[in-house]
Structure 1
Amino acid sequence: MNAANIKVQLKLFLLVATRPLVLTPRHEYKRSHDYSAGFVKADKSYHEGYHASFDKRPGRKMIWEFEQAILRKIVEDSPAQTHLDFAGGTGRIAKVLEDFVPQQFVLDISEGMLAVAAQHLTKAKILNCDFSKGVPEIEDNSLDLVTAFRFFPNAEVELRESAMAFLVQKMQCGGKLVCNNHRSFWSLSYLLSRLLFKGGDVGMANNEMEALAKRHGLVLQKYYSVGVVPQNENKSLFSWALTQKIENYFFKHFLSKQRLGYNTIFVFEKLIKA
């Protein structure tokens, strides 16, 4: 092997060896993948299709079933009176919890998403607004439960900070924030994707989520990790039947004992009044 070939092989080795470390910051990803413009222009069929995808896509459906079980357990263990589903979209989370809480708000900037939510929510007050401009309908220090799913990993750093500050301001002392990181950067799914050069470079590390909450005075009470088998919402490393069996085993025995899953659900508590 001549020197030129050795150089090529060395570059290839370094590329593969360092691939697991590759992270594309969220703001850079948005610059090259302007999904937001398409989202704003999306029609009714898009929003209805998004809502239906949690029953149709095999991976998304499986994880959603786990999320529902976890949410119910959280409110059964710690009953709540006033719930805000932040960035609540089509109202999936609010629907799961509506029988557990007397008062409920669903806040989202997307009018189309909330139109779908209004079709199946019976209790929640729907707020179509930008939280950064103020939400007088919700008093400060009034919420004992806030949920925020599929939001923080999809948000830029500045938006994460401002959203967390808003939520903490609205939470009462002892209130809980239940949020998830469905793009866990160091999960098995994302590691394998990067090693195979099939994405996985846009995500959020779980310690980033914890640090964000801590900066705003929240304390981690519990976490749950699901989606351990390398997978995305449409494909898995194994058959979906085998994947379901493995995930069920981890859910039963190791739900809060590992962080290998691509979807981590956090329970934070506010201990000091803002």
Structure 2
Amino acid sequence: MANTAPSPLVTVFIALAHQAGREIMSHYREDVAVSYKADASPVTAADEAGEAIILKGLADAFPDIPVVSEEAASQGRIPEVAGRFILVDPLDGTKEFVNHNGEFTVNIALVENGDPVAGVVYAPAIERMVRGEAGQGAADARLGVDDDPETAQWRPLKTRGHPDGEMIVVASRSHRDTRTEAYLEALPDHRVVSAGSSLKFCLVAAGEADLYPRLGRTMEWDTAAGHAVLAAAGGTVVTEEDTPLTYGKSENDFANPHFIARGWT
């Protein structure tokens, strides 16, 4: 069960994710121009503005911890990382943001020795903040951009464990592919729900889903915060070879292998 109060480090993550979420929402109802990076992924002014808030706040609070962030990395600004570093995705689910369906998130995670040990996921459009920390459990709170994070009422989260009956599988809303479809077809009794961004990890962490397969390309900043939340809630994230998904795999390439996030160990 999660503590009623998050740790000092996670408290900073919460505050910065909330600040970035407020800035992102200021762009949300506008006709935002979309440009494309070298890997063909979309980026908007909201991504860049949210990242600037988070990077400044992390530099002030934790000047000795390297930070790898999506937009900075896309421009070649990647610090050397060792055993301890922070991963940031200032706007995960840019397609969801542009399509105005609300399923986008702000992600901040701490990685130690390859494992995501603390993470915060904030979905400002649906007013949901989720946090998780190794040894402290996971929790969520209803938190709008005009609310005060310091007065948030946290609800402990726990996975369902391996289901005895129908399995609820959450799959990507924007990145479903033939491999994923084949994987889903091979599962026993199950029902599929769709969601965007790292919210899929959070649904498994909250016991609202049981399994999240991702058999397409993702980057470490896409998954670390949600992975930390799920692990703290009692779940695991493994590769197709059933080995743990790890982080800091390469200083030059932060791509993940295909993985399965599940609500059991």
TM-score by structure 1 length? 0.29
Larger relative strand fraction: 2
TM-score by structure 2 length? 0.29
Larger relative helix fraction: 1
